[in-house]
Structure 1
């Protein structure tokens, strides 16, 4: 009898993802995702061990190489490490905390990242997101937890017309279809 091996598959498998200059959605590369909570001492220790500074102001993101830290709340950050093993990363971070009170939860299997870009990306995202996504109100480097229609997302602005969207795996196909429909309704689609 052979050992059965479960191979993870994308929840977007089989979906036609829009790709073009005006609007594109792509699945972000595989990454470890951890939710970290802790006070200032734990934040400082986590920053040093993670390799990217955990922002000290709400609504900001910081990135270094293939790691990003997005501040979601007064003591909560989403850590994204491209290509990393979540178990190994978690163990490395835990070793750095010493006695600082904290919480570190692996959410790698719960959610995926989407890269949304193009000239009408803001318009498509605005169709289901209550935030003001104008560049002056939501500048590059801003990240926040919000919603798109009925799906909770984490929205991170990477550029004037580029976003990283974190979404639960079960909502990912819905989100792609909803964003695509919103983009189709934009002038010049």
Structure 2
């Protein structure tokens, strides 16, 4: 297995896309990502209360938990925290599965007043604030790529996607943003 310190992020060297302060599309920093299945009472081990409603998220300044299914959470923490989190979960008696998917995923941030418009070029969801409020997170498609879309602020979204789709997604977002970048 390659040394993680030498691992290159899929969007390294690709500049952020901005449009007059109304749009920013950028690669987000590396993070630890774990998929938790089955242990609803495990929030204490993660250090953050897990959400109890599907398609919602809880967060503090450091960690986030996104409930994507009846017994499935995507846990996001600072890069390199997987071993610490796994050790905290080791003492949980409740049946559960905790899988590190940090190597598989990457994140793209889309923010600004035009963020929902650009995302709607490939996501067939109503992204109006009333329909997709802050804190909502869901597994969906962007064009042909499966993503997790999480609204972290009124005009701020985080896309979690497989690393192999990062260039494809960034390219589609860049195409969608083109009319705003030149305008």
TM-score, normalised to structure 1, is 0.89
RMSD of equivalent CA atoms: 1.8
Matched, 1:168 2:167: no
Partner Cα separation in structure 2 for residue 187 and residue 17 of structure 1: 12
Partner Cα separation in structure 2 for residue 188 and residue 29 of structure 1: 27
Q: 1:65 aligns with which of 55, 61, 64?
A: 61
Q: CA deviation at 1:185?
A: 3.2
Question: Which structure 2 residues correspond to residues 18-167 of structure 1 after superposition, within 5 A?
Answer: 18-20=17-19, 21-38=21-38, 42-44=39-41, 46-95=42-91, 97-98=92-93, 100-167=94-161
Partner Cα separation in structure 1 for residue 61 and residue 75 of structure 2: 13
Partner Cα separation in structure 1 for residue 173 and residue 24 of structure 2: 10
Which of structure 1's runs of 4+ aligned residues deviate more than 6 A? none
CA deviation map 1:91-150 (0-9, x unaligned): 22222x12x111111100000111110121101100100111111100001000001001
Q: Which runs of 5+ in 1 are unaligned?
A: none
Count how many residue pairs are aligned between Structure 1 and Structure 2: 180
Match of 1:13 in 2: 12
TM-score, normalised to structure 2, is 0.91
Helix, strand or coil for the counterpart of 1:77?
strand
